[in-house]
Amino acid sequence: MQGLIEPEDYVHVLGPKHSVLDELRAVCHTTGQEDAFYLCDVDDIVHKMQLWRQLLPRVRPHYAVKCNASRVVLSTLAALGAGFDCATKGEIEEVLSLGVDPSRIIFAHPAKPATHIRYAAGCGVNLATFDNEEELYKIRALHPKCKLVLRIRSDAEDAMVCLGVKFGCDAEREAPRLLRTARDLGLQVVGVSFHVGSGCREQKAYRAAIRAARLVFDAAAGLGIRTMKLLDVGGGYPGEPADEQVFLQMADAINSAVAEYFPSADVDVISEPGLYFVASAFRLAANVHSKREVRGDAGELKGVMYYINDGVYGSFFDVINRRRFRGEPLEPHDGAELVPSSVWGPTCDGIDKVEDDVKLPQLELGSWLVYNNTGAYTVAMACTFNGVPVPRVHSVVSTDTWMQLRDRAPFSDAHFVPSLATGRRHTSASLVDSPRRLALQLQVPVQYQVQY
């Protein structure tokens, strides 16, 4: 039996006395709840948008869908007026299904299959990136009205994942030739994009990239191209609370570089943050279903191997990229003896190891390990290898934030139900503020209602 029965379209409204952690516990203690699951805190996403707008008022974020395409994330960001960076036809479909206008999408993949370009043309997604000549010929044939953004390479030295090895042309050596080809094909290049690398910790990387983008704008002007009006400062921004200071410094660096190199308000500035918006909004709870004690020749306990129901083929794929995850037992364990331990995923594969060489209190079977800051590149990369299900997402929102979101497309009131922590699962009578709301059948999944 599975404990979480409600569709992921629901967002659970926390009562005034309840916290996100209360809800996490309530789900863990729901009868039959064994499967690993995520708890998504919608308020955290809203806070990130507020912070972004406060710190980077000139930069319009286009959320990078690849990072976490959960319905609740896309709906929240759509309701908050974000744009979207889609890399594939599937991602475009998902965003459009929320009723987002195609003009809010940038097709930000420099190497696109022909079918995906045709699809973009058919549904009115008219802004896309490129970094090579072949792409220009494809776009000329399949979507000649598409406005184009030239992706240049400008890598941070300090980033978790370097994307420049795969995408981005050289701003000085290659960009002028590509601009000339585009012009000669009658295509409209409107701007420049870059991605300094995911999980970047270096503000100067953005300054260098914006400066390089300026060179490309100047080269375009020299070629008689008068359509350049978009600067896309990509992704890479950190999203964990501990990194907020780093983000503040990055924002400063971006603001001052944009003011210096692109002082005219005629140039629109957009970005493609992924991790920033979702990292801290998600906590993963995984269940310890098995354990093995490791003993020495004299029978002494040397360590414990725990097996949990999510692993490297699920949420922890990024272990392959040497990202480290640390689980905390859900139950308090102050003063308990800590034992050398390792934590393993559920599949039969030997590489499916989540944590190595950690100290944990002795955990009973059925205990929960909680992994904070797991919104980015986790659930999005999970597969069902060995028949292991991908964890579902259980979302919560505070009453105040619910009041702000409830009437904003793609949300409607019917997406919001009370949290489990309130103990009243199937009525929101105590949380709603008008009789009209009370009349809604909260258990009936509704189509997202959308108007832009």
What's at 180, amino acid-wise?
R
Least distance (Å) between residue 219 CB and ligand PLP:
22
Binding mask 148-167 for ligand PLP (x = CB under 6 A): ---------------x----
Toward ligand PLP, which CB reaches closer, 160 or 354?
160
Q: How many CB atoms lie within 10 A of CB 43?
A: 19
Catalogue the active-site residues.
348
Binding mask 78-117 for ligand PLP (x = CB under 6 A): -------x----------------------x---------
Tell me which of 15, 176, 236, 418 binds ligand PLP, using CB under 6 A. 236
**In this structure, what token pair is assigned to residue 372?**
């904070």
Cα distance between residue 33 and residue 43, in whole Å: 25
CB 368 within 8 A of CB 391: no
- For residues 306-324, one letter each, b for 16 or more C-beta atoms within 10 angstroms of the residue's C-beta and e for the rest, the string is bbbbbbbbbbbbbbeeeee
Cα distance between residue 275 and residue 65, in whole Å: 10
Instruction: Confirm or reject binding of residue 234 to ligand PLP (CB under 6 A).
Output: yes
Least distance (Å) between residue 393 CB and ligand PLP:
18
What is residue 398's three-state secondary structure?
Answer: strand
Toward ligand PLP, which CB reaches closer, 100 or 431?
100
Q: How many CB atoms lie within 10 A of CB 157?
A: 12
What is residue 42's three-state secondary structure?
Answer: helix
Toward ligand PLP, which CB reaches closer, 163 or 420?
163
Toward ligand PLP, which CB reaches closer, 273 or 345?
273
Binding part of the chain for ligand PLP, among 73-81, 93-101, 234-242, 343-351 by CB under 6 A, reads 234-242
Instruction: Confirm or reject binding of residue 273 to ligand PLP (CB under 6 A).
Output: yes
Toward ligand PLP, which CB reaches closer, 274 or 327?
274
Binding part of the chain for ligand PLP, among 20-28, 137-145, 233-241, 299-307 by CB under 6 A, reads 233-241
Question: Taking the mean position of all CA atoms in its chain, how far away is CA 99?
Answer: 19
- How many chain residues bind ligand PLP (CB under 6 A)? 16
Q: Which is it for strands 328-329 and 368-371: parallel, antiparallel or unpaired?
A: antiparallel
Q: How far is CA 141 from CA 114, 128, 137, 280, in A?
A: 10, 15, 6, 42
CB 150 within 8 A of CB 187: no
Instruction: Confirm or reject binding of residue 382 to ligand PLP (CB under 6 A).
Output: no
Tell me which of 168, 274, 346, 418 binds ligand PLP, using CB under 6 A. 274
What is residue 414's three-state secondary structure?
Answer: helix
Tell me which of 195, 201, 283, 291 binds ligand PLP, using CB under 6 A. 195
Least distance (Å) between residue 452 CB and ligand PLP:
23
Site for ligand PLP in 19-78 (CB under 6 A): 64, 67
Toward ligand PLP, which CB reaches closer, 195 or 394?
195
Q: How many CA atoms lie within 13 A of 355 on its CB side?
A: 22
Least distance (Å) between residue 207 CB and ligand PLP:
17
Instruction: Confirm or reject binding of residue 275 to ligand PLP (CB under 6 A).
Output: yes
Q: Which is it for strands 353-361 and 268-271: parallel, antiparallel or unpaired?
A: unpaired
Q: How many CB atoms lie within 10 A of CB 244?
A: 13
Task: Tell me phi and psi for residue 252, to 5 degrees.
Answer: -60, -45
> Which residues in this chain contact ligand PLP in the complex, by CB under 6 A?
64, 67, 85, 108, 163, 195, 198, 234-237, 272-276
